[in-house]
Amino acid sequence: MTAMEQQPYQETPAESLLGYCRSCGRSVPAGEGRQWQGSLHCMDCIVKLSHASTEVSGLLDEQPVARRVPSGSAYDLRSAPPAVAPAGGRSPSPILALILGLIPGVGAVYNGQYAKGILHVVVFGGIISALGSGEAHGAEPVFGMLIALMGFYMPIEAFRTARAMERGEPVDEFSGLLPPGHSTGRSPAAGVVLIALGVVFLLQSLGFLRLNDLVRFWPVSLIAMGIYLLYRRVAEGGEDDAPSRRDGGFSGRQRPEDSLRPSTPGEESRSQPGDFPQPGVSSRSEEGGA
């Protein structure tokens, strides 16, 4: 008790406790806190932060947060903006995030998204070790493309996250490049793709399937993805009445059904999209065989 009194800061009684400051961790009594970037800060920290950014100093004139948000309630998870306060209380610079994003995981860490940074490192390292292990069995071009994809994805993602933070928009830790609410299970496509990939790789690694033979047809996946995107755009355009989109739609809508199906075996799908770059297919098949 005596040690408690010697501290310059007095503990707030539980009934008037609003929450805990995001920056310094001290308890905030009712009527003293301010909401900034979706989390509670005590007045000391707000004053400190206000020197760094004019956006925060506007908060000093605002009404304090009076109502206590019950922790662990539904309000916490759904309607509270899941903002991440960047380290130091200043919003990260998008350009610096872009540059740091070239190093796996560092861009996300710079934005204060530690879990995402670790995930990036693990994914990037996983791809590289899969390539280096020599177990790719002809899927090397796919892994190479994945590395290139990650190389572009990470800086751009870090840049967009930093820009959203700069604007004060809520930033979800795992939002990625997709708009928020996209990953709430509206479409099972991601899961189905994961399962399909898993089955293919499993059959391959257990020796039931020669991926060498299949890998030659990897450009088919690009074609299939393009057709799917076209189909989805056309379907969306059909819902709003956009006449210009709609007449482009019917020619596109007939294609997906008949050309998506034979994309796993090779022969028919190869002959069907004849107007697509044939040299790409043939050069790739030479690489796969070598």
Q: Is 148 in the site for another protein (CB under 8 A)?
A: no
Residue 93: CB minimum distance to another protein, A: 26
Q: Is 181 in the site for another protein (CB under 8 A)?
A: yes
Helix residue ranges per DSSP H, 23-67: 43-52, 54-57
Number of other residues whose CB lies within 10 A of the CB of residue 91 = 21
Residues 6 or more apart whose CB falls under 8 angstroms from that of 5 comprise none
Q: Is 208 in the site for another protein (CB under 8 A)?
A: no
Residue 170: CB minimum distance to another protein, A: 10
**Burial per residue of 250-289, b for 16 or more beta-carbon CB atoms within 10 angstroms, e otherwise:** eebeeebeebbeebeebeebbebbeeeeeeebeebbeebe
Residue 288: CB minimum distance to another protein, A: 20
Q: Between 63 and 184, whose beta carbon lies closer to another protein? A: 184
Number of residues that bind another protein (CB under 8 A): 29
Q: Is 13 in the site for another protein (CB under 8 A)?
A: no
37: its two tokens: 């970037």
Q: Between 190 and 225, whose beta carbon lies closer to another protein? A: 190
Nearest to 285 by CA among 141, 118, 75: 141
Q: State how far the Cα of 95 lies from the Cα of 163, in Å rounded to an integer.
A: 9
For another protein, which residue of 7, 74, 274, 290 counts as binding (CB under 8 A)?
74
Q: Are 37 and 83 in contact (CB under 8 A)?
A: yes
Stretch that binds another protein, among 43-51, 101-109, 200-208, 266-274 (CB under 8 A): 200-208
**Which residues form the interface with another protein (CB under 8 A)?**
70, 72-74, 133, 135, 179-181, 184-188, 190-202, 205-206
